[in-house]
Amino acid sequence: MSHLFPTYQRWEIEPEKAAGTILYGKDGQQYLDFTSGIGVCNLGHRPEPVEIAVKKQLELFWHVSNLFPQSIQEAAAKKLAEESGLDCVFFANSGAEANEAAIKLARKATGRKKIITFLQSFHGRTFAGMAATGQEKIKQGFGCMLETFIHLPFNNLESLKAEIDKDTAAVLIEIIQGEGGIHVVTNEFIKEAEKLCAENGVLLIIDEIQTGIGRTGKPFAFQHFGIEPDIITVAKGLGNGFPIGAAIGKAKLAEFFGPGSHGSTFGGNPISLAAAIAVMDIIFNEGFLEESSAKGGLLFGLLHNELGWMEVVKDIRGMGLMAGIELTVPAQPILAELRKSGLIALPAGEKVIRLLPPLNVKQEEIEKAVSLMKCALSNYKVTV
């Protein structure tokens, strides 16, 4: 028997090694990896500058505890603050922990309990993350949830207006619901949400765990809308595979996260931070995201032209290099077909194929992926 808890449904491919957009299976096959480890390896597998930065830190120290000042934490925090327009960073090890930090901070800073989130949202698997998540399947069997999380329909202004009040600590929202099916927030909704938050003294928290670090063509997805959140959370793409998460907030919140208020043994680990700094140096550098956005334009253009007309394709949504293809049929069997033909892609909900290629994916890799999808989707129609 396997000695692992069977928490994950595993694919049939066991990776041997990986480089760039290519994953080499132990089966001797090569696969085009359009998952980036669920939006983590935004620079592809094993980008050299990140490897060099990590090796350099490995020879200095691996862990010393947060009792010491560490300039590598200051350097990473400065970059995150500069790029986001926010001020202060708390480092954690994962997305769920970043959201935990944000939720604790919001409750403490406002002295209020109610947190508004949205249906189909995903905010992680810890108790607060799970309670914040607007999908029943995530909570099944775990008993009563943390109180005072309210889930409203996404992009529905009337329900937000009716629910937000002076007892509300925060509105927590994804700019693009990633796990929930690639649903993009509307400009009107997020702008109004910002205004309603300001009017009621409510903190606006943007969960950028999947959309951040360049995934949508800007450093953070909220920047497409000219809004100013109070807190954002990041994780996945920040360390390109080294575990790290962060909650980034406005300076006015600093007094509520004083010594002893929150902490993490591994949070701010220098190996992960060395990776994160190298990642940000590349992704936030002049020109990188322009090129990546152009690749996103190419991807969406091809998806619309090659697949948009198909009967099985209901909708194509997303931004930058975060794409969802909603089908009229379940996605899983098609994803299995795609793997057989050499393309690894993700589901997002039951009927959506989600593509999260690395941000430096090559043009010919995009063309190949779309042609493999076209093939798998046309074949599917014939066999059903």
Ligand X SMILES: *Cc1c(COP(=O)(O)O)cnc(C)c1O
C-beta of 95 vs 270, nearer to ligand X: 95
Residue type, 117: T
C-beta of 317 vs 372, nearer to ligand X: 317
Residue 123 interacts with ligand X (CB under 6 A)? yes
Evaluate whether 20 touches 45 at the Cβ level (below 8 Å): yes
Residue 36 interacts with ligand X (CB under 6 A)? no
Q: Tell me the C-alpha distance between 186 and 191, whole Å.
A: 9
343 three-state secondary structure = strand
265 among annotated binding-site residues = yes
For the bound state, the minimum distance from the C-beta of residue 179 to ligand X, rounded and expressed in Å, comes to 6
Residue 124 interacts with ligand X (CB under 6 A)? yes
DSSP state of 65: -
C-beta of 124 vs 357, nearer to ligand X: 124
How many other CB atoms are there within 10 angstroms of residue 226's CB atom?
Answer: 10
C-beta of 45 vs 123, nearer to ligand X: 123
Q: HSE of 116 in the Cβ direction (CA atoms, 13 Å)?
A: 27
For the bound state, the minimum distance from the C-beta of residue 35 to ligand X, rounded and expressed in Å, comes to 12
C-beta of 153 vs 301, nearer to ligand X: 153
Residue 210 interacts with ligand X (CB under 6 A)? yes
For the bound state, the minimum distance from the C-beta of residue 382 to ligand X, rounded and expressed in Å, comes to 35
Q: What string marks each residue from 65 to 94 as x (binds ligand X by CB under 6 A) or -?
A: -----------------------------x
Residue 100 interacts with ligand X (CB under 6 A)? no
Name the nearest CA neighbour of 212 among 130, 276, 132: 276
| Only segment of 44-52, 53-61, 174-182, 299-307 that touches ligand X (CB under 6 A) | 174-182
How many other CB atoms are there within 10 angstroms of residue 339's CB atom?
Answer: 18
Evaluate whether 177 touches 216 at the Cβ level (below 8 Å): no
C-beta of 123 vs 351, nearer to ligand X: 123
For the bound state, the minimum distance from the C-beta of residue 227 to ligand X, rounded and expressed in Å, comes to 17
Evaluate whether 193 touches 160 at the Cβ level (below 8 Å): yes
Evaluate whether 203 touches 227 at the Cβ level (below 8 Å): no
Q: Tell me the C-alpha distance between 88 and 348, whole Å.
A: 32
107 among annotated binding-site residues = no
| Only segment of 7-15, 117-125, 140-148, 304-312 that touches ligand X (CB under 6 A) | 117-125
Residue 151 interacts with ligand X (CB under 6 A)? no
Name the nearest CA neighbour of 230 among 126, 84, 79: 84
Q: Is the dihedral of CA 343, 344, 346, 351 positive or negative?
A: positive
| Only segment of 121-129, 142-150, 256-264, 282-290 that touches ligand X (CB under 6 A) | 121-129
Residue 178 interacts with ligand X (CB under 6 A)? yes
DSSP state of 175: S
Residue type, 187: N
- The residue within the footprint of ligand X, chosen from 33, 83, 100, 179 (CB under 6 A), is 179
- The residue within the footprint of ligand X, chosen from 25, 44, 47, 95 (CB under 6 A), is 95
For the bound state, the minimum distance from the C-beta of residue 367 to ligand X, rounded and expressed in Å, comes to 27
Evaluate whether 356 touches 376 at the Cβ level (below 8 Å): no
CA distances from 204 to 190, 193, 201, 245 (A): 10, 8, 10, 19
210 among annotated binding-site residues = yes
Region of 3 (left: φ > 0; alpha: ψ -120 to 50; beta: rest) is alpha
Evaluate whether 175 touches 205 at the Cβ level (below 8 Å): no
Which tokens go with 291?
A: 């090129």
- The residue within the footprint of ligand X, chosen from 174, 194, 326, 365 (CB under 6 A), is 174
C-beta of 42 vs 372, nearer to ligand X: 42
C-beta of 110 vs 135, nearer to ligand X: 135
- What residue numbers does the annotated binding site for pyridoxal 5'-phosphate cover? 95-96, 122, 207-210, 265
- What residue numbers does the annotated binding site for N(2)-acetyl-L-ornithine cover? 125, 264
User: Interface with ligand X by CB under 6 A: which residues?
Assistant: 94-96, 99, 122-124, 174, 178-179, 207, 209-210, 235-236
- What residue numbers does the annotated binding site cover? 95-96, 122, 125, 207-210, 264-265
